Amino acid sequence: MDCLFCKIIDREIPGDIVYEDDQVLAFNDINPQAPTHILIVPKQHIATLNDIKEDDLALVGRLQYTAAKLASKQGFAEDGYRVVMNCNEQGGQTVYHIHMHLMGGRRFTWPAG
Ligand code: 5GP
Ligand code: ZN
């Protein structure tokens, strides 16, 4: 499949991988927006949040759970951090394989731009 994140999952292109299990892969974002910026992706290809089925709910929960675990491992769980999922063009999605951005190590403002 012609999908950038599937290719990273399949090791067809390199990724700076920080966590892996049977369902999830996490790797550093190539263009970090924070001192730590990790992308957490399901190994199953799902294009957008709109394509999530009821059968996928545990998997989506696992993305969130992995974000919290990695935040703890990175040492900023208590200070705080931000997770973001962009959906479709107006949401700022550029790679059409769902991913959770985990960003930490700086203060974030709200509402976001
Ligand atoms: P989106 O805009 O779809 O929410 O997020 C896509 C993210 O993927 C962006 O933050 C972008 O920097 C990152 N990205 C794009 N190409 C690559 C790549 O080849 N490797 C890695 N590690 N990240 C990428
Ligand atoms: Zn994919």
Domains of the chain: 4-104 (3.30.428.10)
Any catalytic annotation for residue 99? yes
Question: Which of 28, 21, 25 minimizes the C-alpha distance to 7?
Answer: 25
Q: Decide: pTM greater than 0.95.
A: yes
Nearest atom (ligand 1) to Cα of 13: 19
Res 113 pLDDT > 70: no
Residue 87, classed as helix, strand or coil, is: coil
Dihedral sign computed on CA atoms, order 9, 25, 81, 36? negative
Given pLDDT bands bounded at 50, 70 and 90, which one contains residue 112? Answer: confident
CA of 62 to the centre of ligand 2 (A): 17
Per-residue pLDDT tens for 37-90? 999 999 999 999 999 999 999 999 999 999 999 999 999 999 999 999 999 999
Nearest CA to ligand 1 atom 15: 30
